[in-house]
Amino acid sequence: MRGYFDTLKVIVLIALRNLFASRLKTLIVGGIILFGSLLVVVGTALVDSVDASMSRSVIGSVAGHIQVYSAKSKDELTVMGSMAMETPDLTPIDDFAALRRTLLGVPNVKAVVPMGLSAAQVIAGNTVDVVLERLRALARRKLAGEDVQVAYESEKDHVRQIVTVLSAEVDNIRKIQSEKAISQDDLAAVVKAVSTEFWAGFDRDPYPALEFLENRIAPLASDADMLFLRYLGTDVDAFAKSFDRMKIVDGKAIPRGERGFLFSKWVYEQQVKLKTALRLDRINDGIKKRSQTIARSEELQRFVKQNTSEVKEIMLQLDGQKTASFRRLLQGELGSQENDVAKLLAEFFRVEDANFARRYRFFYDQLAPMLELYRVRVGDTLTIKSFTKSGYVQSVKLRVYGTFAFEGLEDSHIAGELNLMDMVSFRELYGFLTPERAREVQEIKTMAGVKEVSRERAEAELFGNKDSEAAPVGQAGRPVDEAEAALRSLAGRQQRADRASQSFDPTQLEQGDVLNAAVIVKDPRRISQTIKDIEAAGGKAGIPLHAITWQKASGLVGQFVTMIRAVLYISVLIIFAVALVIINNALVMATLERMPEIGTLRAIGAQRRFLLGMLLVEALAVGVLFGSIGALLGAGIVGVIHAVGIPAANDILYFLFSGPRLHPSLSPANVIISLGIVLVVSAISSIYPGLLAMRVSPRQAMQSDD
């Protein structure tokens, strides 16, 4: 054994000295290996860290560890990362209680959260409508003899102000585009609305004047009041418990057993907030978080430009008093003599890097308190209209209880695109027949004397066939035909007004349909086994289920890391393939150069394996030495990146990093993988030169003069 060790020693010695003798070649080969192992260490550390942080993001926000949905579904489920209006076409699972029982029977399952995903367009109050409504109320009280003169006059001023703003805008559009951009009718309406005669007659008979304003003027002032909302219907309580990164930002959580709506803070800011304020926020973020400057960033310049040209949004909100206050404040701030508030605002929003911070503060401290910063306020009632599965429009009025965000993901649109709604309202919007709904429909039907008509018999029923019989009345909860659906939708609307305050029985949550469910597991390492168990349990319980990992459920986002990983592995593969070829070539050349020496060694009694060992040691020595240096450098780089952190330059990175910065950490696995690859590549690359060396005949040592 000792002799063996001594032989190994001499092999290593020869190998090392050979390497040293051909330094340049060694350095080139070593450099490639060094770079390769550095790349592996840094790359895998980064990807692993992104993977870990992203999984925290995905699992902690909406997806949970596993998503479960009906195996009969047409589409695959993705719960996030899709900007499209369509939501996946899933077959509902009609008994959540049974589903939950089945899932909780699987050993690794900790919690189950019911879910349903949909999207809707929502009308949020038009400023003009709101103001006109207030004026109408005041006019009514004034006519009833109440003393509301001051408020009435102020509101009237406000409406006049709105009309003036609109008139200026109409003029502008006609100037900029063409005379025909505004129809003659609309033009006439605006001209009438600004006229002194119109307002002179207003007090005498306000109702026709108000009607005129509501019907002819308000539509012209539509200030982009359609909201596109994606929402998740769920058991809000269970949701908050299972996704503990969720926190309420404004307002409060939807109380148990209540219908209600929670805005995602991100959506609330981006879509509901006053655009001018949002743009100011964005400029502020650009400067504070991304070290941008207005002077150099085209994006920020665009925001400034939009703010200066779109002051109408603010102008519409100003009544007489506020107009005066704004004039006074802005004149003071700008040191201007200008009387036109629109011009003052435009001037105020023409910010530069030097004055931005001051104006930003001034806006929020002085101006914002007089404005409605959000089109929908916490406590308001939101009318959500959605197309049901069968295609008719369903609408539900829901109270906005507040806004929420996920801890650490506040700025991410991927985590923030979903709003929350109670499951019962979701079902209604989706078109499921809830028991109360079924009762309501039945009442209407009885009232209207409608009888159930099956599709097959429709013709006979309509055109009177003497053989026709009354079709049996269907039971509630059965699939409904379109006529009935339309009827239900129509009738439902009448009674929907006070839905917002309605509560529901918590057992209703349990017993209805869900589209999908998030599963939180006890041991995340056993996800794949748990998925199999869930599908098996579902099959046994007669609920055919698809269970997918959070990666799959998060759609493109979840595959992002897989993609990066693939790119990394491919580049590593290429680098090491190149390394393999180069090491191989270098060793082949070394072998050819050393043919006489190898022949000599063979002649004096070295077995073939000695030579093979020599080349292997040579390759491994280079691999280990430079691979270790590379891994060490890589570890150092990861350490530095860990200390400094990689800033999340955009929204997607913010989500992937699960926060504003990624602090990647090194695991032993990263280094072991790197050295492992290096060793394998070195060993493989010495095979062919080894074979060559083995074929060298000891005759090579002899002088051949024959």
Partner 1 sequence: MNHIVSVSNVSKNYNLGQVVVPALRGVSLDVAEGEFLAIAGPSGSGKTTLLNLVGCVDTPSAGTVTVDGKQTGLLGERDLTRLRLHTIGFIFQSFNLVSVLSVLQNVELPLLLQRALSARERRERVLALLDRVGIREYSKHRPNELSGGQRQRVAIARALVTRPKLVLADEPTANLDWVTGTNILNLMKELNQSEKTTFIFSTHDARVWAYASAVVRLADGQIQDRVSAEEAVRAGGLPTGRLV
Q: Which residues bind partner 1 (CB under 8 A)?
A: 2-4, 6-7, 10, 13-14, 17-18, 20-21, 596-597, 599-608, 610, 697-699, 701-706
Q: Which is nearer to partner 1, 471 or 606 (CB)?
A: 606
Least distance (Å) between residue 648 CB and partner 1: 54
Q: Which is nearer to partner 1, 329 or 694 (CB)?
A: 694
Least distance (Å) between residue 704 CB and partner 1: 6
Beta strands in 531-688 (DSSP E): 545-549, 646-647, 661-662
Nearest Cα to Cα of residue 415 among 182, 211, 664, 654 = 654
Least distance (Å) between residue 27 CB and partner 1: 17
Q: Which is nearer to partner 1, 366 or 600 (CB)?
A: 600
Q: Which is nearer to partner 1, 450 or 603 (CB)?
A: 603
Q: Which is nearer to partner 1, 244 or 593 (CB)?
A: 593
**CA separation for the pair 386, 231 (Å, rounded):** 11
Least distance (Å) between residue 601 CB and partner 1: 7
Q: Which is nearer to partner 1, 250 or 597 (CB)?
A: 597
CA dihedral sign, ordered 409, 414, 419, 422: negative
Least distance (Å) between residue 640 CB and partner 1: 39
**CA separation for the pair 697, 598 (Å, rounded):** 8
Least distance (Å) between residue 620 CB and partner 1: 17
**CA separation for the pair 611, 633 (Å, rounded):** 33
Q: Which is nearer to partner 1, 18 or 549 (CB)?
A: 18
Nearest Cα to Cα of residue 103 among 507, 522, 423 = 522
Query: Residue 233's beta-bridge partner residues?
Result: 116, 421
Helix (H) / strand (E) containing 469: none
Least distance (Å) between residue 702 CB and partner 1: 5
**CA separation for the pair 30, 681 (Å, rounded):** 12
**CA separation for the pair 279, 299 (Å, rounded):** 10
Q: Which is nearer to partner 1, 480 or 614 (CB)?
A: 614
Least distance (Å) between residue 30 CB and partner 1: 18
Look at residue 631 and give its three-state secondary structure.
helix
- Total residue count of the chain as it appears in this document: 706
Q: Which is nearer to partner 1, 8 or 644 (CB)?
A: 8
Least distance (Å) between residue 19 CB and partner 1: 9
Least distance (Å) between residue 2 CB and partner 1: 7
Least distance (Å) between residue 10 CB and partner 1: 5
Query: Residue 647's beta-bridge partner residues?
Result: 661
**CA separation for the pair 348, 362 (Å, rounded):** 10
Least distance (Å) between residue 39 CB and partner 1: 32
Question: Helices (H), strands (E): how many in the chain?
Answer: 30, 12
645: left (phi over 0), alpha (psi -120 to 50) or beta: left
> Between β-strands 246-251 and 393-406, what pairing exists: parallel, antiparallel or unpaired?
antiparallel
End-to-end alpha-carbon separation of the chain, Å? 42
Q: Which is nearer to partner 1, 90 or 590 (CB)?
A: 590
Q: Which is nearer to partner 1, 164 or 600 (CB)?
A: 600
DSSP character at residue 182? S
Q: Which is nearer to partner 1, 389 or 699 (CB)?
A: 699
CA 323 to mean position of chain CA atoms: 39
Q: Which is nearer to partner 1, 6 or 523 (CB)?
A: 6
Least distance (Å) between residue 22 CB and partner 1: 10
Q: Are the C-beta atoms of residues 207 and 394 closer than 8 Å to each other?
A: no
Q: Which residues have C-beta within 8 Å of that of residue 502, sequence separation ≥ 6? A: 259
Neighbouring CB atoms inside 10 A of 339's CB total 9
Task: List phi, psi (to 5°) of 85.
Answer: -70, -35
**CA separation for the pair 62, 550 (Å, rounded):** 9
Neighbouring CB atoms inside 10 A of 514's CB total 31
Neighbouring CB atoms inside 10 A of 472's CB total 9
Q: Which is nearer to partner 1, 501 or 697 (CB)?
A: 697
Least distance (Å) between residue 33 CB and partner 1: 22
DSSP readout, 249-313?
Answer: EEE-PPPTTB--EEEEHHHIIIIIB-HHHHHHHHHHHHHHHH---TTT-HHHHHHHHHHHH--HH
Q: Which is nearer to partner 1, 595 or 683 (CB)?
A: 595
**CA separation for the pair 457, 479 (Å, rounded):** 16
DSSP readout, 337-381?
Answer: ----HHHHHHHHH---HHHHHHHHHHIIIIIGGGS--BSS-TT-E
Least distance (Å) between residue 611 CB and partner 1: 11
Nearest Cα to Cα of residue 84 among 272, 225, 228, 233 = 228
Q: Which is nearer to partner 1, 537 or 598 (CB)?
A: 598
Least distance (Å) between residue 14 CB and partner 1: 6
